[in-house]
Amino acid sequence: MLAESTVQESMNKPSNPHIENAKNIFKRLKKNKAAMVGGFLILLFILTAFIGPFLVPYGAGEQNLVNKLQGPSAEHWFGTDHLGRDIFSRIIHGMSITLYIGFFSVFIAAIFGVVIGIVSGYYGGKIDTILMRLMDVLLAFPGILLALGVVTILGPNLNNVILAVAVFSVPAFARIVRGSTLAVKELEYIDAVRALGSGDFRIIFRHILPNVFSPIIVQATLRIATAILTAAGLSFLGLGAQPPTPEWGAMLSDGRNYIFDAGHVALFPGLAIVVVVLAFNIFGDGLRDALDPKMKS
């Protein structure tokens, strides 16, 4: 009987606290219908970026000057541009470029921002002062102007756009991680771990970093939307992806010349940017609420 009760108690215990925590976060996230819609759209965008180019009827650079500036039809769902290229096909081909810019630039910014934030918050003193004043200098410039400066120096191409967006995104990660690190390092269990002989490296990676991971995820999700919008703005100004690359900002820039005669050329790339940015924003807001400790039951 004792053995049976022990087995029963072990079966009733949660298998893994991390799995249980993830389930609770997902339950809270499901209650936010807008966030679920945003998450579904993001998954749809990612899927489209991978398989969409193989399904569309036209190539990204396929031209037909006879059919230029035609409105939406059964043959060309979003119409054609000034070179007779199918706008729907170009938007689908451009999906992978847009997501590549958003994810990769934020990934680079998160790596540098997290390192700067943790080092600054954990060690404090002169290191904290120097690093945070550097972040303040970057924050003093509007994001688009800082990105413009970086691209102007390095030259207009896709990789330089990613680097420019990453540079102006670093301070946002650094300040959030620094604030979280300052709060976590004052907890009693950090003092206990240090008293047991753990070094700084172990404390940072085993105890502090996991506790500041939630705000990093939320910030990254919201920052992808900003990165996509900024990259589209740079391409619109001619400093991003260069023709004939089907980047949405560049397509929008081409369409502005025909906005009164063939408004669909600018309309659909603009709508694509709006929908993607909106999806990441509403999903990021819902994820922030789901990860907020104050909302835990």
Domain with 290, as residue range(s), is 55-295
Q: Is the peptide bond before 244 cis (omega within 30 degrees of 0)?
A: yes
35 in a domain, yes or no?
Answer: no
**132 within 8 A of 120, measured Cβ to Cβ:** yes
| pLDDT average, residue stretch 102-106 | 93
197 in a domain, yes or no?
Answer: yes
| Arithmetic mean of pLDDT over the chain | 84
Number of structural domains (the chain) is 1
Q: How confident is the model at residue 290 (pLDDT cuts 50, 70, 90)?
A: confident
102 in a domain, yes or no?
Answer: yes
Other beta carbons within 10 angstroms of residue 88's beta carbon come to 17
96 in a domain, yes or no?
Answer: yes
Structure tokens, 20: 């249980």
* CA–CA dist 53, 249 (Å, integer): 19
| pLDDT average, residue stretch 180-207 | 80
CATH code for the domain in which residue 272 is found: 1.10.3720.10
pLDDT digits (tens, 9 = 90+) for 249-273: 888 888 888 888 888 899 999 999 9
Mean pLDDT is lowest, of 4-8, 48-52, 134-138, 178-182, for: 4-8
Question: Would the pLDDT of 2 be above 50?
Answer: no
